[in-house]
Amino acid sequence: SRLAEGTPRRSIHLSNIVEQRVFKDDDIISTPKRGRPKKSVEDEDDDYTPKKSVQKTPTRSRRLSTATKPATTPSKGTTATSAAAPMTPSQKMKKIRAGELSPSMQQRTDRPVKDSSKSQLQLAREQLHVSVVPKSLPCREREFENIYAFLEGKIQDQCGGCMYVSGVPGTGKTATVTGVIRTLQRLSKQNELPAFEFLEINGMRLTEPRQAYVQIYKQLTGKTVSWEHAHSLLEKRFTTPAPRRVTTVLLVDELDILCNRRQDVVYNLLDWPTKSAAKLVVVTIANTMDLPERLLMGKVTSRLGLTRLTFQPYTHKQLQEIVTARLGGSEAFKGEAVQLVARKVAAVSGDARRALDICRRATEIADTASVKCVTLLHVQQALAEMIASAKVQAIKNCSRLEQIFLQAVAAEVTRTGVEETTFMGVYTQVETIAAFMGVTLPAPGRALRLCATLGAERLIISEHSRNDLFQKILLNVSADDIHYALRVGEVN
C-alpha cells in the first residue's frame, strides 16, 4: 500500500486519508469536508489535541448521558449540547482557539474518601506531598522580603524592570515568587496597592521559544493565535502608550530554555520593560547563577540588569524545619528520623523535594510494617532505596563468567596503567584467570557476547562488537567495587 500511496495519482487524496485516520475512532465525521484542511494545527497548544476534543463530541456525550446517570456526565458535554446543532471538528477547533470552550477533564464516578477516615500516617503522607505548597514558606523570609520589596516598588512606581532569580533545583524559587505575587494580589484587592496583571510562562512547557508569545497573548486575551501574530500584537500593546495601562508582572520560569542561537525571544522579553509605555516587570528564574554571563549576549545581559537574587541550598536545620512545618503537630514522625533525613539530604544537594520524597517513602515503609510511627530504621531503609548504589549488587548477581570478565578488565587496567583496554588484552587476562580458577574459558565469540551484556548493563563501556578483537573497553564501575563485591561474595 505504501507503493500505491507514493504514486502521484493517489497522492491527491492523501489529505482525505489522513483526515479519516485521525477521526476514525469516533466515527463522527458526517459532513464531507470541502477545500483544504486547516493548516494551523501546528500552532496549537498541547492541551488541545484534536483527539481529546473529539472525544467529547455532542453525539457521543448525548449517547452517554442517556445511558448513564446524569450526575456523571462531563460538564463539557452539557455546554457543548447547549449549542443547537452538533459541531463539526473545525467548528470545535475554532471555538477552542477563541477560548470559548474551557478544557475540562472527566470526573471520577465515585467520590473521594473522606479525610476523617484516614489514618494519621496517611494524613502525614498527604501533607508531605511535594505539591502541597504551604501558605508561607519556612526559611525563605529574607528572599521573600527581597522579591516583595522589588515588586512592590515597581508596581508603586509604575515603571518597568527586570529581576533574575537563580538557585539549584528544589530551593523554593518558584514557590517564593508566586507566594509574593499572591500577597501582592491580595493587597491590590484591598486597594492598598495599584492593581496589576500577572502573566506566567515556563520555558519547559513550550515546544519552541517563540511559542512564548502565544502563551503570553493567550493569558492576556484567552485567544490562541499564531506566534507571528501574537508577537506583533504584543509589540503593539507594549510599545504604544495607552492611558489606564496597568502594570503587568511577567514571570518567566526556566529562562535558559528560551535561549536559542538568535536569542530574539529573550531579547524581546527583556527589551519591552525598557519601553516606558509598557509598565512591564519581568521576573526570570533559572538554575545557573552565571547564566547571563555564560549564555546570553552582551546586549541581553545589559538589559537584564544587576538586580539578582540567589537561593542557596537548604541547610540541614532548614530542611528539618520545613519537614516539621509540613507535619504540623502530627506525631507520625520521630524527631531523630526527620533529623537524619535532613542531614543526609543537606549533605548532598539541599533539595527540599528530595527530603519530602524520602519522608513519604519512609511513611510507606512504616505503613507496610503496620506501625503507626516512622522510626529511624524506616528512614534508613528509605534512604538506602533512594540514595541507591546498586552497582555492587549488580556485580554480585552477574554470572560466573561475567564476573571473571570484569575481574579481567580490572586486572588489565592495573597491568597497563591506562583506563582504556582492548578486548584482546582483556581476553588474555580472562584466559589467565580461568586457568587459575580451573574453569573452562569461553570462546572469543561468546566472550564478545558477555562483553555486550555487560555493556548494556552499563557496568562497562564498550564499543560496537563489529571490530571484535580490537574494540575498546572501559570500566564503568570502580575497580574497588569489583573486588569488594567478589570478595564479600566468597566469604559467604
Partner 1 sequence: QQQPQSEPETLPSPPRNKYQNARRVLNSAETQNLPGREEQLLELREFFTSHLESQSSGSLYVSGQPGTGKTACLSLLLRDPAFSKRLQRVYINCTSIASVGAVYKKLCAELQLKPNGRTERDHLEAIQRHLRSAKRMLLLVLDEIDQLSTSRQAVLYTIFEWPALPGARILLVGIANSLDLTDRALMRLNARCELKPRLMHFPPYSKQQIVEIFKSRLAEAEVLDVFPPVTLQLLAAKVSAISGDVRRALDIGRRVVEIAEQQKRDGEKEFNMKALELEGKDAVEAKEKQADTLKPVQVTQVAAVLNKVYGASQNLEEDIEAAFPLQQKLMLCSLVLMLRNERNKDISMGRLHEVYRRVCSKRNILALDQAEFAGTVDLVETRGILRIIRKKEPRLHKVLLQWDEGEVHAALSDKQLIASILSDTACLGK
Residues found near partner 1 in the complex (CB under 8 A) = 149-150, 153, 156-161, 166, 168, 191, 194-195, 228, 231, 235, 243-244, 262, 264, 267-268, 271, 274-276, 287-290, 293-294, 298-299, 301-303, 305-307, 312-313, 315, 346-350, 387-391, 419, 461, 474, 476-478, 480
Q: Can you name the residues that pair with 421 across neighbouring β-strands?
A: 473
Q: Given the complex with partner 1, which of 130 and 347 has the nearer CB atom?
A: 347
Counting DSSP H helices and E strands in the chain, the numbers are 24, 8
- Minimum distance between the CB of residue 172 and partner 1, rounded to whole angstroms? 13
In the complex, the smallest distance separating the C-beta of residue 219 from partner 1, rounded to whole angstroms, is: 20
Cα dihedral value 370, 373, 374, 376, nearest 10: -110
Place of cell 463530541: 57
Nearer to partner 1, 115 or 290 (CB): 290
What is the C-alpha end-to-end distance of the chain, expressed in Å? 62
Closest distance of CB 298 from partner 1, Å = 5
Return the closest-CA partner of residue 124 out of 360, 319, 378, 357.
Answer: 360
Q: Which helix (H) or strand (E) holds 233?
A: helix 227-239
26 vs 264 by CB, closer to partner 1: 264
- Closest distance of CB 228 from partner 1, Å: 5
Please, what sign has the CA dihedral across residues 41, 46, 51, 54? Answer: negative
Residue placing its CB nearer to partner 1 in the complex, 203 or 350? 350
Of the pair 123, 479, the CB lying nearest partner 1 is at: 479
Shortest Cβ distance from residue 422 to partner 1 (Å)?
Answer: 17
If the CB atoms of residues 29 and 474 are measured against partner 1, the closer one turns out to be 474
Return the C-alpha cell found at 205.
512547557
- CB of 2 or CB of 142, closer to partner 1: 142
Q: What are phi and psi of 349, to 5 degrees?
A: -135, -25
What's the rounded Cα separation, in Å, for the pair 486 and 406? 10
Q: What is the Cα–Cα distance from 154 to 476, expressed in whole angstroms?
A: 53
Following DSSP, what letter does each residue of 282-322 receive, concatenated? Answer: EEEEES-TTHHHHTS-HHHHHHH-S-EEEEPPPPHHHHHHH
- Report the DSSP pairing between strands 280-286 and 308-311: unpaired
Pick the closer one to partner 1 by CB: 162 or 327. Answer: 162
Residue 473: phi and psi, rounded to 5, are -125, 130
Alpha-carbon span 466 to 4, nearest angstrom: 38
Rounded to a whole number, what is the largest CA-CA distance in the chain?
A: 91
Q: How far is the CB of 399 from partner 1 (least distance, A)?
A: 23
Nearest approach in angstroms of CB 387 to partner 1 is 6
Least distance (Å) from partner 1 to the CB of residue 250?
A: 16
